[in-house]
Amino acid sequence: MAALPLPLASATPSSQSHPVFSKPSYFITHAKRSNRLRVSCTDSRNVETPLGKVDRRNMLLGLGGGLYGAANLISSPGALAEPVSPPQLDKCGLSTYNTNKGVKMEVPCCPPSSETITKYKLPPVTQMKIRPAAQNLTPEYIYKYNKAIECMKQLQKDHPEDPRGFMQQANIHCAYCNGAYTYDTKPGKDPFTLQVHNSWLFFPFHRWYLYFYERILGELIGDPTFALPFWNWDNPKGMYIPEYFLDCRSALHDCKRNPDNLKAVVDLGFTGSKNPDQVVTNNLSIVYNEMVAANADAYGFMGKPYCQGSNEKESGPGSVERGSHTAVHVFVGDPREPAGEDLGNFYSAGRDPLFFCHHSNVDRMWTLWQYYLPSDQIPDKRITSRDFLEASFLFYNEKAELVRVTVEDCLDNRSMGYDFEQCDLPWLDYRPPAQTATAKVIRSRKTAPNAETVFPLNLDKIVRVLVSKTKKGKADELLVIENITVDTTKFLKFDVFVNDEDDDLTDLDKAAYAGTYAQVPHKSGKKTNTTSISLKLTNLYNRMDVEDDDTVLVTLVPRHKGEGVTIGGIKIIENPTPVKTANSSG
Would the pLDDT of 96 be above 70? yes
Cβ neighbour number for residue 57 with a 10 Å cutoff:
9
Mean pLDDT of 332-341: 97
Q: What's the pLDDT score for residue 503?
A: 67
Residue stretches of the annotated binding site: 173, 197, 206, 325, 329, 359
Would the pLDDT of 568 be above 50? yes
- The least confident of 250-259, 274-283, 373-382 is 373-382
* Phi, psi dihedral angles at 551 (to 5 degrees): -140, 160
Would the pLDDT of 261 be above 90? yes
pLDDT-derived band at 313, boundaries 50, 70, 90: low
Residue stretches of the annotated binding site for Cu cation: 173, 197, 206, 325, 329, 359
> From residue 34, how far is each of 18, 21, 156, 408, 545 by CA, in Å?
9, 10, 21, 32, 72
The residues with which 458 forms a beta bridge, in sequence order, are 566
The 3-state secondary structure of 240-298 reads: CCCHHHCCCCCCCCCCCCCHHHCCCCCCCCCCCCCCHHHHHHHHHHHHHHHHHHCCCCH
The residues with which 516 forms a beta bridge, in sequence order, are 495
Chain-centre distance for alpha carbon 113 = 26
Distance separating the N- and C-terminal Cα atoms of the chain: 37
pLDDT-derived band at 435, boundaries 50, 70, 90: confident
Q: What's the pLDDT score for residue 220?
A: 98
Mean pLDDT of 467-489: 91
CA distance 412 to 142: 27
Q: What's the pLDDT score for residue 547?
A: 77
CA distance 516 to 496: 6
Taking only the tens place, the pLDDT of each residue in 200-210 is 999 999 999 99
Q: How much of the chain is helix, strand and coil, in % rounded to 5?
A: 25, 15, 55
- Sequence-distant (≥ 6) Cβ neighbours of residue 378 within 8 angstroms: 295, 296, 297, 298, 301, 577, 579
CB 85 within 8 A of CB 147: no
Please, where are the H alpha helices in 373-511?
386-389, 439-447
Would the pLDDT of 315 be above 90? no
Mean pLDDT of 173-181: 92
* Phi, psi dihedral angles at 395 (to 5 degrees): -140, 155
pLDDT-derived band at 36, boundaries 50, 70, 90: very low
Helix axes 354-371, 202-220, angle to 10 degrees: 130
Give the three-class secondary structure for 245: helix
Q: What's the pLDDT score for residue 432?
A: 84
Would the pLDDT of 388 be above 70? yes
Percent of the chain with pLDDT over 90: 63
| Pick from 543, 515, 521, 532: nearest CA to 569 | 532
φ/ψ region of 54 (left if φ > 0, alpha if ψ in -120 to 50, else beta) reads beta
Q: What's the pLDDT score for residue 53?
A: 35
Give DSSP secondary structure letters for 376-430. TSSS------HHHHT-EEEEE-TTS-EEEEEGGGGS-GGGGTEEE-----TTTT-
Chain-centre distance for alpha carbon 105 = 23
Q: What's the pLDDT score for residue 28?
A: 26
* E strand spans, 188-287: 192-193
Q: What's the pLDDT score for residue 155?
A: 98
Would the pLDDT of 285 be above 90? yes
Would the pLDDT of 254 be above 90? yes
Q: What's the pLDDT score for residue 68?
A: 28
| Pick from 54, 165, 55, 144: nearest CA to 396 | 165
pLDDT-derived band at 185, boundaries 50, 70, 90: confident
pLDDT-derived band at 90, boundaries 50, 70, 90: low
392 vs 55, higher pLDDT: 392
Q: What's the pLDDT score for residue 504?
A: 74
Taking only the tens place, the pLDDT of each residue in 118-163 is 999 999 999 999 999 999 999 999 999 999 999 999 999 999 999 9
The residues with which 105 forms a beta bridge, in sequence order, are 97
pLDDT-derived band at 465, boundaries 50, 70, 90: very high
Q: What's the pLDDT score for residue 74?
A: 24
Q: How high is the mean pLDDT of the chain? A: 83
pLDDT-derived band at 325, boundaries 50, 70, 90: very high
Give the three-class secondary structure for 177: helix
Would the pLDDT of 377 be above 80? no
Would the pLDDT of 577 be above 50? yes
Q: What's the pLDDT score for residue 310?
A: 74
- Catalytic residue list: 173, 197, 206, 325, 329, 346, 359
What structural domains does the chain harbor?
A: 56-420 (1.10.1280.10), 439-574 (2.60.120)
Mean pLDDT of 231-239: 98
Mean pLDDT of 306-319: 82
Q: What's the pLDDT score for residue 561?
A: 85
528 vs 313, higher pLDDT: 528
- The least confident of 10-14, 111-115, 260-264, 446-450 is 10-14
Q: What's the pLDDT score for residue 38?
A: 35
